[in-house]
Amino acid sequence: MALFENLNLEKGMYQAKGKSLTDVLESLDPSENYVGTPLENLDAFSRQLKRFDIRVSGEGSDCVEKFFQSSNSAALFPEYVTRAVKQGMEDADILSDIVATVTTIDGMDYRSITSDPTDDDKDLAVVNEGAYIPQTVVKTSENLVKLHKRGRMLVSSYEALRFQRLDLFTVTLKQIGAYIARAQLKDAVNTILNGDGSNNPCEGIASATADTLEYGDLISLWATLSPYQLNTILAPTDAMKKILALSEMKDAAAGLNFQGSGKMVTPLGANLLHTNAITSDLIIGLDKNCALEMVKAGDIVTDYDKLIDRQLERATVSCIAGFAKIFNDASVKLTY
């Protein structure tokens, strides 16, 4: 009998600090042992699903009750919920396109580092022999990063869900993940615009013509951000329509690309991202490699005790994260 078929699964596996159930299973049953076998494309958790013949997607997916055929298989249910929620977050993800780095911490208190170089600091002049070398000051932020807990509560009885197909239940869980991702994006945008508590709100410029967005305004955004790169633009629906309606954005090649692949032409080479986390008369330009740090207090947390014991009602799925600015002038807002 294969090793993965002999593992004893229990609640304590969810208590490993900084590890998911999949991580724990991988340590007990490494995927490298299955190279060259029919199971080499499965991770340790997927092998456990196969062990208990649980199909979570596709034609012939099982019902929720299939997880509860034994105490061992029931221990897999919270990880299934977590992975489905995480997939929903990834499907709705924009954060990875605006965050420079992600820091995972064990506690709730975290101070980021910050640097506010002057124009002279950015210009590395020639240093004569024996002369003073200009310095860049990097210091710890005065304030703790504000972490926000975002999540949803599952309000349903096991009896109501037991005969529901897992692929349908997955859709609901993925939507919960999408809600969390959008809430975190709103937190990130708020940090960019208003600062992270260290008196560092986003620098702003105004459109040359009130209530109108012109191509020249995008040029001004690009110029103001220099010497940082304008590689990302965040815009709400109204601004997106105005940008895409600019004559400079409607050449034949751009139209064919949008109609054929759904990929929009990007102004000045920047990645154009649509979000409703911004007011309708504002767009944000930033250098994604320098502007923002995401701080996570662990990963997605599920009420594994309740889920394993079939107490789905009022079981929560949540994620704790916050954001801090790295270089304040690596983001600029344009009001029109």
The Cα 265–Cα 99 span in angstroms is 22
| Residue 300 pLDDT > 80 | yes
Q: What is the mean pLDDT of the chain?
A: 88
Question: In the prediction, which pLDDT does 56 show?
Answer: 94
Report pLDDT digits (tens) over 276-293: 999 878 999 999 999 999
Of 184, 8, 161, 195, nearest to 96 by C-alpha is 184
Q: Can you say whether the dihedral through the CA atoms of 93, 94, 95, 101 is positive or negative? A: positive
Q: What is the pTM of this model?
A: 0.85
> Mean pLDDT throughout 22-47?
94
- Asked whether 289 and 276 are in contact (CB, 8 A), the reply is no
Number of helices (H), then strands (E), belonging to the chain: the values are 11, 12
Q: What is the dihedral of CA 123, 129, 130, 135, to 10 degrees?
A: 20
Within the chain, residue ranges assigned H as helices are 21-28, 44-51, 71-74, 77-91, 119-122, 158-161, 166-194, 215-225, 237-244, 252-261, 304-308
Out of 157-171, 260-274, 310-324, least confident range: 260-274
Whole-number Cα distances in Å, 113 to 110, 200, 313, 330: 10, 13, 42, 15
Question: In the prediction, which pLDDT does 260 show?
Answer: 59
- Report DSSP letters for 111-138, one per residue: --EE----HHHHS-----TTPPPP----
Q: Is 188 exposed, middle or buried (0-12, 13-18, 19+ CB in 10 A)?
A: buried
Task: Band the pLDDT of 58: cuts 50, 70, 90.
Answer: confident
- Asked whether 77 and 266 are in contact (CB, 8 A), the reply is no
Of 86, 35, 80, nearest to 318 by C-alpha is 86
The Cα 315–Cα 56 span in angstroms is 20
Give the type of residue at 331.
Answer: S
Question: In the prediction, which pLDDT does 331 show?
Answer: 95
The Cα 240–Cα 272 span in angstroms is 8
Q: Which residue has the tokens 């400079």?
A: 248
| Residue 39 pLDDT > 70 | yes
* Beta-bridge partner residues of 333: 204, 284
Task: Band the pLDDT of 249: cuts 50, 70, 90.
Answer: confident
Give the type of residue at 181.
Answer: A
Of 169, 191, 186, nearest to 87 by C-alpha is 169
Report pLDDT digits (tens) over 206-239: 998 877 899 999 999 999 998 899 999 999 999 9
| Residue 69 pLDDT > 90 | yes
Report pLDDT digits (tens) over 102-157: 999 988 888 887 766 666 655 656 666 766 666 667 777 778 899 999 998 888 88
Report pLDDT digits (tens) over 146-167: 999 999 888 888 898 999 999 9
Cβ within 8 Å of residue 71, ≥6 positions away? 9, 10
Report pLDDT digits (tens) over 182-204: 999 999 999 999 999 888 899 99
